[in-house]
Amino acid sequence: MENDIGLWGVPLAVLGGAIRVSTPFIFVSLGEAITERSGRINLGLEGTLVFGAMAAYAVAVETGSPWLGVLAAMVAGSGFGLLHGWICSFPRVNDIAVGIALMLFGMGLAFFFGKPYIQPSAPNLPAIPLGDWSSIPQVRAALNVNALFVIGAALALFLWWAFKNTKLGLIVRVVGDSADSARAMGLSPTTVRLFATAAGSALAAVGGAYLSLYYPGSWNERISSGQGLMAVALVIFARWNPLGCFAAALLFGGAGALGPALQSVGVTQGYYLFYAAPYILTLVIMIATSSPGRQLAGAPGELSITK
């Protein structure tokens, strides 16, 4: 067989999987990084992601344009973000709890309005064939990269730069590190956080659009297996660094591809444990890189979860 790539299939699958599976994690974790950098936590991005997946799919079905779907997801996502930001602007309201409530609400609305869209097929987002130089179809498939992945990578780079070098980045960071000094500078922490949450949620919804419009590319109630929740956790893992979020998402996606790839070359024992590889790997890295001395370096000072 000329296209038999044997054991090379494993690293290739991990690479391809990293690219295919990671995109939702990239968008959600970048979005959450913006929100958390402003000193607020939005645990509800799983709900936003699922609603984004539904909204994108529904609009793509109705209009025939997947990009309009992505846009719709962003609009819907920022709506959820504004709601979260608005509710949390009241004194004594717990942002983590509001996140959980919105997770439920977002998923509920998505399933509720998504029923009629389970059956129809939506047009998919286009892919960029970065692997055309290769004659091996598996390599071409692995490097068949969706535009959203490229946008996500660029966004990670941009945010990393913007947090350091732009006025807006500085504003977000000041508000996140100390509300008092922000106020002293004449900034309104509430307003900044409101928009940071809205922006973060809009990105998370794009992650959902990727799920429903590209990979796996269909809408149903089981489309997300906790990507939104996990991506929020990855932000803390990545220490609020956008480049770290990107790397963590790639690592997580690649590890997730390990299970099926190993089975396809004959390593079949204990596949449940291989499937748990992303979680085990993340936990091990977290334990290895944390130490009691430096408590979460880089954590925004106002974040309730790290106080």
Counting contacts by CB under 8 A, is residue 263 touching other proteins?
Answer: yes
User: Could you tell me the two tokens for 12?
Assistant: 């290739």
Q: How far is the CB of 183 from other proteins (least distance, A)?
A: 20
Strands 144-146 and 127-129: antiparallel
Q: How far is the CB of 251 from other proteins (least distance, A)?
A: 13
Counting contacts by CB under 8 A, is residue 275 touching other proteins?
Answer: yes
Query: Footprint of other proteins on residues 122-161 (CB under 8 A)?
Result: 124, 138, 141-142
In three-state secondary structure terms, 144 is strand
How far apart CA 154 and CA 149 sit, in angstroms, is: 9
Residue 266: Cβ within 10 Å count: 8
In three-state secondary structure terms, 168 is helix
Q: Which of 78, 189, 265, 301 binds other proteins (CB under 8 A)?
A: 265
Q: Which of 118, 151, 187, 247 binds other proteins (CB under 8 A)?
A: 118
Counting contacts by CB under 8 A, is residue 15 touching other proteins?
Answer: no
In three-state secondary structure terms, 217 is coil
User: Could you tell me the two tokens for 187?
Assistant: 């900034």
User: Could you tell me the two tokens for 29?
Assistant: 């974790």
Q: Which of 230, 245, 251, 255 binds other proteins (CB under 8 A)?
A: 230
Residues 37-76, mask of contacts with other proteins (x by CB under 8 A): ----------x-----------------------------
The beta strands (E) that lie in 180-300 are given as none
Q: Which of 128, 157, 168, 273 binds other proteins (CB under 8 A)?
A: 273
Counting contacts by CB under 8 A, is residue 287 touching other proteins?
Answer: yes
Which one-letter amino acid corresponds to residue 247?
Answer: A
Residue 114: Cβ within 10 Å count: 22
| Count of residues engaged in binding other proteins, rule: CB under 8 A | 92
Q: Where are the alpha helices (DSSP H) in 124-188?
A: 137-142, 147-165, 167-177, 179-184
Q: Which of 3, 133, 167, 186 binds other proteins (CB under 8 A)?
A: 3
Q: Which of 109, 147, 243, 247 binds other proteins (CB under 8 A)?
A: 109
How far apart CA 13 and CA 6 sit, in angstroms, is: 11
Counting contacts by CB under 8 A, is residue 280 touching other proteins?
Answer: yes
Q: Which of 17, 69, 131, 152 binds other proteins (CB under 8 A)?
A: 17
Q: Which of 164, 271, 298, 301 binds other proteins (CB under 8 A)?
A: 271
In three-state secondary structure terms, 224 is coil
Q: How far is the CB of 155 from other proteins (least distance, A)?
A: 22
Counting contacts by CB under 8 A, is residue 189 touching other proteins?
Answer: no
Q: Which of 157, 161, 268, 301 binds other proteins (CB under 8 A)?
A: 268
- Give the dihedral sign, CA 69/34/162/182: positive
